[in-house]
Amino acid sequence: MDKHAIYRHQGLGGTSGIGRRCGLVLVDFVNGFVDFDQLGGPHIEAAAQATVPLLAAFRRAQLPVAHTRVVFEADGSNHNVFALRVPPLQKLTEDAPGSQIVPALTPVPGEWVIRKQSASAFFETGLAGWLHQRGVDTAVIVGCTTSGCVRASVVDSMQHNFRTVVISDCVGDRALEPHEANLFDMQQKYADVMTRDDFLGRLDASQKGA
């Protein structure tokens, strides 16, 4: 049986839609994750470039924007199991070039930059409260990697009761297979997956400036 038919038969693959106010979460679009010699890949760099017009649209609409960076202490004092399993993460310290947000997506005043040490943008960061405080009911998630920090953030977003949207051409991974498999699975259970242009076409004009 076709996999789509199995999921449909079990009632999966639904939609939560776009609510009254969106917030954009850019997950780990830092230099180290677009550099193939560090932690990145060509799909991630393309996703970062595709995100530029999306970020510009959120700024024009005066909607909340949060960026995340993986940041560990240079002295190793906050290394955790994530850093143990993926040793290159230990090099992503506050001032390391690899931990800096890519220039094309540089935050502007009013956008929150979150420093995290785990996969999810929501885990012990206060992001959920920050979004709720700003009236956000729909978290729009982009970044990298699709199978890692993006997926973890998407699951936590739903668990914090946000409608969740993943922009398919604004997330990237090191290989196409995990990227595509995780987009499929997130669509079935956790999020609405759509292209950037499809999302922008659906973004309710009433949200702008709300």
Residue numbers annotated as active site: 149
Strands of the sheet with 138-144, listed across from one edge: 112-116, 65-70, 22-27, 138-144, 163-172, 192-194
**What gap in Å lies between CA 18 and CA 200, rounded to an integer?**
11
Kindly state the tokens that stand for 133.
């405080």
In degrees rounded to 5, what are phi and psi of residue 29?
Answer: -80, 75
Spatial CA neighbour of 188 closest among 22, 2, 11, 1: 11
CB atoms within 10 A of CB 15: 12
Q: Where are the beta strands (DSSP E) in 10-54?
A: 22-27
Q: How far out from the chain centre does Cα 156 lie? A: 11
CA distance 61 to 207: 7
Query: In Å, how far are 55, 80, 166 from 163, measured between CA atoms?
Result: 19, 30, 10
